[in-house]
Chain A
Amino acid sequence: GAGVSQSPRYKVAKRGQDVALRCDPISGHVSLFWYQQALGQGPEFLTYFQNEAQLDKSGLPSDRFFAERPEGSVSTLKIQRTQQEDSAVYLCASSLASGLVAGELFFGEGSRLTVL
């Protein structure tokens, strides 16, 4: 498709289980962002990639969270030993630009994670 694609759309995990969330950005987009959005709140920044380089991971809440983008296109957000507080919608966004102005952001529909 022409937009940012995320999978799975919905994921239910038992506490302690590992999960992997995938983001397919728009082809050619240099910048890729992950956000976490808890119920009733706005999205919170997790991490940012420029091509394959993870330039900012300051928003990752703990060392259980890991993100990668090995070939500069598809990105995976991995959460190890999930906890109930990890329940949220995980949003991915991509942007064509990589210069001083980030450019228009295109968001995926999100992956809704529920940890029981």
Chain B
Amino acid sequence: SQELEQSPQSLIVQEGKNLTINCTSSKTLYGLYWYKQKYGEGLIFLMMLQKGGEEKSHEKITAKLDEKKQQSSLHITASQPSHAGIYLCVADTGNQFYFGTGTSLTVIP
């Protein structure tokens, strides 16, 4: 949607490399969710960010929300084949949810 821009659309990286996925909203966010989806599976919740400047980490995945609460990044350190899938950001503007178009990540062993 125009309200939420996610980039890049696809990413192919060598195992062990770092990568970053970005989501930018045209509106101030009440919350920003990151999801991962593998083939034929549902969305797997990764992290939720609500406060400006907030940063959360889970294993080798770190997500940040900027101070203005309009931009979030998802960073994977030392990528592994298990990280492959689609990463989706979902923005909560308070009265509606907006979805990024997803980033398809392929990790080459």
Contact = CB atoms under 8 A, between A and B. Distances in A.
Q: Do A and B come from one complex?
A: yes
Interface residues of B, number: 25
Nearest to B84: A101
Q: Binding site of B, secondary structure by majority: helix, strand, loop or mixed?
A: strand
B46 to A, nearest CB: 10
Interface string B47-65: 0100000000000000000
Contacts of B35: 42-43
B19 to A, nearest CB: 15
Nearest to A104: B102
A44 to B, nearest CB: 7
A55 B37 CA distance: 15
A116 interface: no
Interface of B: 9-10, 33, 35, 37-43, 45, 48, 84-86, 88, 90, 92, 97, 99, 101-102, 104, 106
8 contacts: A42-B35, A42-B48, A44-B43, A91-B99, A102-B37, A103-B104, A105-B37, A105-B88
Given A37-B97, A44-B42, A101-B39, 8 more contacts: A42-B33, A43-B90, A46-B42, A50-B40, A100-B39, A101-B86, A101-B106, A103-B104
